[in-house]
Amino acid sequence: MTQGKRTIIANIDRLNKLMDENRLDAVVARSGKNFTYLSGFAYPGTLARHLDFPDSPRAVLVVWPRKGEPVMILNSFAAPLAQRDSWLEKIEMCDDYGESPYSKVVEVLKEKGLDNSRIGFEKSYLSAVHWDEVDALLPKAELIDCTSMMDQVRWIKTPSEVELIREGARRLDEAYLEVFPTVKAGETERDVHSRLIAACLDREANWAHGILNSSRNTVMYGGESGFQFELGDIIRNDYVFWYQGYPGHQSRTVVLGNPSEKQKKTYETILGIYRGTIEQAKPGVKASEIHRFASDAFKNAGIKGRVALAGHGVGTWWHQQQPYLVPNNDIIIESGMVLAFEPHVDYYHIQDMFLITDDGQEHLSPLFSTDEMLVVG
């Protein structure tokens, strides 16, 4: 489907189908995930924080009618980016800090004759104040929470989306393979992290982020610090390489110096659990069943710890999306989903993305083999 300067790669057929099933005349995208998905451009840097703050005065939105031309509600910072990168053409300007972007949304809906219609808003991404504002300005409209519906739209990928994810993964693996072999004892977490981010940017990442810690650092998600690596350390890592709004997202187990026999055996056990977990992900299986397999496998192997997350969907803007492979999630796995698998309980972190197919799974990040730990230093 072609709208403006670029071909739309979002799953618009599925969007239309689900809008019809939910009897929606329009949806209004507010979250970073859905704004990026429908507009086709990634909001970079510091500006990006405004996409997911419900009370941000710099909110940007897409009004997507079931019939007719979509419209972006933008401020002066976002408009030049959209004119350069978006596949949509129609823009309505909003004076950030000077007027409410939601009043501009209402104007657009009224101009399209949709002020007496069923309209989907992402209730999870609007503040209570803004929801009430829209409700008051559209007294004849029926406002419907479309957050879950939009998750369902995004979780089945088009071939073009899969190719962007595959390319982002390839570039992240290249960055890993450039940086990790250079790590030496005495370097800090911050030293290595900065080189990884630079390697991602050198490979044309829109932006990149992640975590990197020594196995001796007991604050696993405490950010990169001056903590120094020593021989024998496992280097835990978990990065995202954003390429044209889509993530390369994988983790590799790296050991500094020759691994001990215990480290080798532990990695071999965890690798077996990891690959077994992936094999469970087939069309028709519940997300919770995949998590249960991973959790039971760790217990049966005598490895202590809680498997908080066995994996998750990926997509535009934010790398963790539905379906989450967690307890009590009844979402059914479908062909066309892209899942990142990462069942782990400690610093031995392996993660890759796979496309779910009718026959099983297609590996999207194969460049950096996980058959063995990477030995460096």
Distance of CA 125 to CAs 129, 130, 238, Å? 11, 10, 26
CATH topology of domain 12-154: Creatine Amidinohydrolase; Chain A, domain 1 (3.40.350)
List the end-to-end C-alpha distance of the chain, in Å, as a whole number. Answer: 50
Helix/strand/coil for 160:
helix
Find out whether 332 and 357 touch, Cβ atoms under 8 Å: no
Each residue of 102-160: pLDDT tens digit?
A: 999 999 999 999 999 999 999 999 999 999 999 999 999 999 999 999 999 999 999 99
Q: Rounded to whole angstroms, how far apart are CA atoms 232 and 214? A: 10
CA 9 to chain centroid, in Å, comes to 16
Contacts of 330 (CB under 8 A, 6+ apart): 286, 287, 288
Residues 348-357 have a mean pLDDT of: 97
Tokens of 339: 């899942």
So where are the chain's domains? 12-154, 159-376
pLDDT at 172: 98
Q: Which residues pair with 286 in a beta bridge?
A: 332
pLDDT at 45: 60
What whole-number percentage of the chain has pLDDT above 70? 96
Mean of per-residue pLDDT scores for the chain: 93
Confidence of residue 240 (pLDDT cuts 50, 70, 90): very high
Residue 296 has pLDDT above 80, yes or no: yes
Distance of CA 255 to CAs 50, 104, 184, 232, Å? 38, 54, 11, 7
Q: What is the CATH number of domain 159-376?
A: 3.90.230.10
- 239 membership: H or E segment, kind and range: strand 234-243
Kind of pairing, strands 311-313 and 338-341? antiparallel
pLDDT at 53: 75
Each residue of 48-82: pLDDT tens digit?
A: 666 667 777 788 999 999 999 999 999 888 899 89
pLDDT at 98: 86
Q: Which amino acid is at 231?
A: L
Kind of pairing, strands 142-145 and 118-121? parallel
pLDDT at 1: 53
Lowest mean pLDDT among 52-66, 135-149, 299-313, 335-349: 52-66
- Give CA angle at 333 (329, 337), nearest 5°: 120
Residue 39 has pLDDT above 90, yes or no: yes
pLDDT at 91: 96
pLDDT at 177: 98
pTM across the whole model: 0.94
Burial class, 168, CB count within 10 angstroms (exposed 0-12 / middle 13-18 / buried 19+): buried
Helix-, strand-, coil-residue percentages of the chain, each rounded to 5? 35, 20, 45
Confidence of residue 256 (pLDDT cuts 50, 70, 90): very high
Q: Rounded to whole angstroms, how far apart are CA atoms 261 and 39? A: 51
Torsion of CA 38, 41, 46, 48, to 10 degrees: 10
Find out whether 279 and 269 touch, Cβ atoms under 8 Å: no
Helix/strand/coil for 42:
coil
More confident residue, 263 or 245: 263
